[in-house]
Amino acid sequence: MLMHNPPHPGEVLKELCIEPLGITVTDAAKGLGISRKTLSSILNGKAGISPEMAVRLSIAFNTSSESWLNQQSQYDLWEAEKHRNELHVTQLSAA
Amino acid sequence: MLMHNPPHPGEVLKELCIEPLGITVTDAAKGLGISRKTLSSILNGKAGISPEMAVRLSIAFNTSSESWLNQQSQYDLWEAEKHRNELHVTQLSAA
DNA sequence: TAACTCATAACGTATCAGGTTACAATATTT
DNA sequence: AAATATTGTAACCTGATACGTTATGAGTTA
């Protein structure tokens, strides 16, 4: 069960990876093999981290791809849970 | 680190939720508040489990939405990792 | 036979990742 | 100060995918 509002994975990426290394967004994008606009979108919370992007991050920053995708999942789930009560779903039991 | 080929989340859904209850795909779809085609696509591995669908499943089967979405993430990541060596990514270090 | 169940194809809509190009606002450097 | 670098973002395009409806064919059960 998720207990607190998870941050944008992009926010974590910026604060824990990009800024500590002192590299520019432009150079990081080059290293990741993606466009600057795509990285910028992630860093500013406009785009999520796709499975492929998680693998790219794991290579570039020597981390685990799982941790990146899990962060994204938890963020997405937090958003989805906000509308739990609006879903027309009934409990299912044996026929 | 993921060690073995994760199953389709839809496969798990079918074997651990639908079949044990002895309910039809049609009735399960009704309970979930989605179309029969959408559920069929998931059960047969043609579609993934979206964050919203994870919440629906958690309500209908009294489970955790996290477990469903994590299963999907692990499945997606397994697929993405297959192409790890095709990605043009370089290790990033301090400027 | 008739009714139910299911997978799937065809079609449309919405969302989203990702790319390119271009522009404006800051920083930084010379 | 002037020139350069950096960044966010808007506009536009493509491709993938979730989801819906409708229809069809196959299998199963009453």
pLDDT digits (tens, 9 = 90+) for A49-84: 999 999 999 999 999 999 999 999 999 999 999 999
Q: Rounded to a whole number, what is the distance in Å from the CA of A45 to chain B's nearest CA?
A: 17
Region B20-29: what's the mean pLDDT?
98
Q: Which of B55, B72, B86 to mutate to test the interface with A (most CBs of A within 10 A)?
A: B55
pLDDT value of position B2 = 64
Q: Is A9 buried (19+), middle (13-18) or exposed (0-12) by CB count in 10 A? A: buried
- ∠ CA B51-A71-B40, nearest 5°, is 25
Nucleotide nearest to B43 in CA–C1' terms: C7
Q: pLDDT tens digits for B53-84? A: 999 999 999 999 999 999 999 999 999 999 99
- Provide CB contacts within 8 A for A92, sequence distance 6+: B17, B21, B23, B27, B28, B31, B32, B60, B61
Domains within chain B, CATH numbers bracketed: 9-79 (1.10.260.40)
